[in-house]
């Protein structure tokens, strides 16, 4: 996540002591024997081949005493029959071109002439209130591909696409001056007059025209993925979970939520109070096990919360890792705190130099931190807990240090981590979820199990973002998930638009709660209740026995 950093800034900083981000010491079980500081030592031992933290049963029993008894009732009648895709009513030969200079222009958009453009002119979209509003007459309701022919002075300029006033996705202009295609595919358009607007994100992009054609981006084959994990040695519980995910893909979306304290969190209690339901996928962060966090006093409890969620609640765990820079590379100065050193503006890491061999010290420190995290993941492996593992997320955005590099350096770090965790640490409990947010950063099908995207779409925006789903699905023959989101999508639109995200993972504060209560600034209580009670979403009580799923 880039914005909304209150999660990290709420770490208490007093008398030189930094406590676990957003932890509530009074509600954590005491008596835990495995500290984050010990994890660093264990990481060094694990690197030498010693099994990590083999016996945590006593601590888990204390956690269970606080959280409650094991869930014993499971769904045994889940309908797994195919849920038909929405048919495409668009005529196969449909084609419509609308010149940008013929669109309604707002703000400071300017028309400029020039040779080589389809109408001998183009329109520059700047910033602020600039808008280019195309009007398209659509004969038949159906799925359409939108191609905004454009150019810019450099590559990677992203701008939003609004359909009839609602944010529907974004396009990227990968141009260095030449005209290129910037596409948003698989967009459902109702018949009639539709307004298709370009709204600045980066801005400063020149648009020649909009070309609309019938779409064939998502088909039944999209939801037919190989039912084999990338790690052939995955353990039985992990295989069972993955089989379940494959079985429901295209039929249901799993409800998901980031909640730092699992069942003790405000997100858990407030969602249950509002909707009468509990989310199925718990999102957690491994950041407090990083060496920098440990050195500054963090005492992570993520492993305990994850264990409880799977073992006692019968749910599914998703991990991300806001990886703070090793201390030698964190700026750690006024305005650049160490606890924000996962952001590139607070870090001195040059990942290109690290991964091409120019900075051996940096490489060694990153490998040691991978060892630290592997120790913690091994604790869950030893207790039979599978994890959807999402490291190095949102790389293409460039705001994290692992994305402030060439894509090849990122991919090399990904495959190195995959190799260490899979082969050196024998982590047989991981389902690897890639979240690079750009096809160019995809490391390959052989080290990825799920492809995901993060979408922060604004306030009370419930569209399905089917164009983004189609883009993610095109990266590889994998499950596609919405790993982070700001607003909960309308399940009716998710199913209608054939954008059947495997699960969603709504970020915590401020997107779900504010001051401990549901925050309707992003998702209304009515939409939240609808989403959690929809017949095509699955909540915690609707999950089968994942340990024994076959």
Q: Are 450 and 71 in contact (CB under 8 A)?
A: no
Look at the block and give the residue holding tokens 């406590």.
19
- Phi, psi of 52, rounded to the nearest 5 degrees: -100, 130
Is 394 a residue of the active site? yes
pTM above 0.85, yes or no: yes
Both tokens of 527, joined, read 């939409």
pLDDT tens sequence for the chain (550 residues): 644 443 333 332 222 222 233 332 323 323 333 333 333 333 333 332 223 344 456 666 777 777 777 888 999 999 999 999 999 999 999 999 999 999 999 999 999 998 889 988 999 999 999 999 999 999 999 999 999 999 998 888 999 999 999 999 999 999 888 899 999 999 999 999 999 999 999 999 999 999 999 999 899 999 999 889 999 999 999 999 999 999 999 999 999 999 999 999 999 999 999 999 999 999 999 999 999 999 999 999 999 999 999 999 999 999 999 999 999 999 999 999 999 999 999 999 999 999 999 999 999 999 999 999 999 999 999 999 999 999 999 999 999 999 999 999 999 999 999 999 999 999 999 999 999 999 999 999 999 999 999 999 999 999 999 999 999 999 999 999 999 999 999 999 999 999 999 999 999 999 999 999 999 999 999 999 999 999 999 999 999 999 999 9
The residue count of the chain comes to 550
Q: Are 482 and 503 in contact (CB under 8 A)?
A: yes
Please tell me the distance from the alpha carbon of residue 411 to that of residue 393, in angstroms, as a whole number: 12
Please tell me the distance from the alpha carbon of residue 189 to that of residue 497, in angstroms, as a whole number: 10
Both tokens of 45, joined, read 């031992």
**What percent of the residues of the chain are helix, what percent strand, and what percent coil, each to the nearest 5?**
30, 25, 45
Which three-class secondary structure string do you get for 400-451? EHHHCCCHHHHHHHHHHHHHHHHHHCCCCCEEEEECCCCHHHCCCHHHCCEE
Q: DSSP string of 302-337?
A: HHHHHHIIIIIS--EEEEE---PPPGGGB--BTTB-
Q: How far is CA 265 from CA 205, 256, 299, 493, in A?
A: 43, 14, 17, 29
- Phi, psi of 314, rounded to the nearest 5 degrees: 75, 25
- Phi, psi of 172, rounded to the nearest 5 degrees: -120, 130
Please tell me the distance from the alpha carbon of residue 285 to that of residue 340, in angstroms, as a whole number: 14
Please tell me the distance from the alpha carbon of residue 509 to that of residue 10, in angstroms, as a whole number: 11
Please tell me the distance from the alpha carbon of residue 192 to that of residue 170, in angstroms, as a whole number: 23
Which one from 59, 99, 101, 394 is the annotated catalytic residue? 394
Which one from 99, 267, 484, 509 is the annotated catalytic residue? 484
Q: DSSP string of 88-107?
A: --S-TT-EEEEEGGGSEEET
Look at the block and give the residue holding tokens 């800034």.
9
Both tokens of 53, joined, read 């933290």
Is 158 a residue of the active site? no
- Name every residue whose Cβ is closer than 8 Å to that of residue 221 and which is 6 or more positions away in sequence: none
Look at the block and give the residue holding tokens 């889940």.
78
């Amino acid at each position: 996540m880039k914005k909304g950093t209150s999660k990290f800034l709420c770490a208490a900083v007093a008398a030189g002591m930094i406590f676990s981000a957003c932890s509530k010491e009074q509600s954590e079980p005491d008596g835990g024997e495995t500290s984050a500081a010990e994890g660093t030592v264990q990481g060094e031992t694990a690197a030498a081949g010693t099994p990590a933290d083999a016996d945590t049963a006593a601590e888990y029993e204390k956690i269970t005493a606080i959280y409650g008894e094991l869930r014993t009732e499971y769904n045994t009648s889940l309908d797994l029959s195919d849920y038909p895709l929405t048919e495409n009513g668009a005529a196969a030969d449909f084609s419509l071109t609308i010149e940008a200079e013929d669109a309604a222009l707002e703000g400071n958009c300017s028309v400029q002439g020039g040779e080589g453009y389809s109408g001998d002119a183009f329109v520059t979209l700047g910033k602020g209130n600039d808008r280019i509003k195309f009007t398209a007459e659509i004969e038949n309701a159906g799925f359409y591909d939108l191609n905004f022919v454009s150019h810019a002075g450099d590559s990677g300029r992203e701008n939003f696409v609004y359909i009839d006033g609602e944010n529907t996705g974004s396009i990227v202009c990968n141009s260095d001056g030449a005209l290129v295609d910037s596409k948003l595919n698989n967009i459902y358009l109702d018949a009639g007059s539709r307004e298709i607007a370009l709204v600045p994100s980066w801005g400063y992009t020149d648009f020649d025209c909009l070309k609309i054609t019938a779409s064939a981006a998502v088909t039944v084959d999209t939801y037919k993925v190989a039912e084999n994990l990338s790690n052939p040695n995955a353990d039985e519980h992990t295989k069972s979970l993955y089989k379940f995910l494959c079985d429901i893909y295209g039929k249901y979306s799993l409800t998901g939520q980031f909640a730092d304290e699992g069942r003790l969190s405000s997100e858990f209690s407030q969602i249950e109070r509002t909707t009468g339901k509990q989310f199925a996928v718990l999102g957690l962060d491994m950041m407090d096990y990083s060496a920098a966090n440990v050195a500054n006093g963090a005492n992570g409890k993520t492993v305990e919360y994850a264990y409880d969620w799977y073992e006692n609640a019968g749910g599914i765990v998703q991990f991300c890792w806001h990886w703070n820079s090793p201390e030698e590379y964190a700026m750690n100065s006024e305005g650049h705190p160490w606890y924000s050193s996962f952001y590139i503006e607070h870090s001195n890491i040059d990942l290109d130099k690290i991964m091409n061999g120019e900075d051996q010290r940096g490489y060694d420190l990153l490998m040691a931190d991978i060892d630290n995290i592997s120790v913690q993941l091994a604790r869950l492996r030893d207790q039979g807990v599978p994890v959807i593992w999402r490291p190095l997320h949102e790389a293409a955005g460039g705001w994290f240090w692992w994305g402030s590099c060439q894509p090849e350096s990122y991919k090399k770090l990904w495959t190195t981590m995959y190799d260490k965790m899979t082969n050196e640490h024998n982590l047989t409990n991981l389902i690897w979820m890639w979240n690079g947010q750009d096809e160019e950063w995809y490391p390959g099908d052989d080290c990825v199990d799920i492809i995901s995207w993060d979408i922060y779409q604004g306030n009370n925006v419930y569209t399905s973002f089917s164009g983004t789903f189609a883009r993610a699905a095109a990266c590889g023959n994998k499950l596609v998930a919405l790993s982070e989101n700001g607003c909960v999508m309308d399940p009716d639109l998710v199913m209608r638009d054939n954008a059947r995200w495997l699960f969603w993972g709504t970020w915590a504060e401020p997107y779900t709660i504010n001051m401990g209560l549901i925050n309707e600034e992003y998702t209304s209580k009515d939409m939240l209740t609808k989403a959690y009670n929809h017949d095509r979403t699955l909540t915690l009580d609707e999950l089968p026995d994942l340990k024994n799923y076959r």
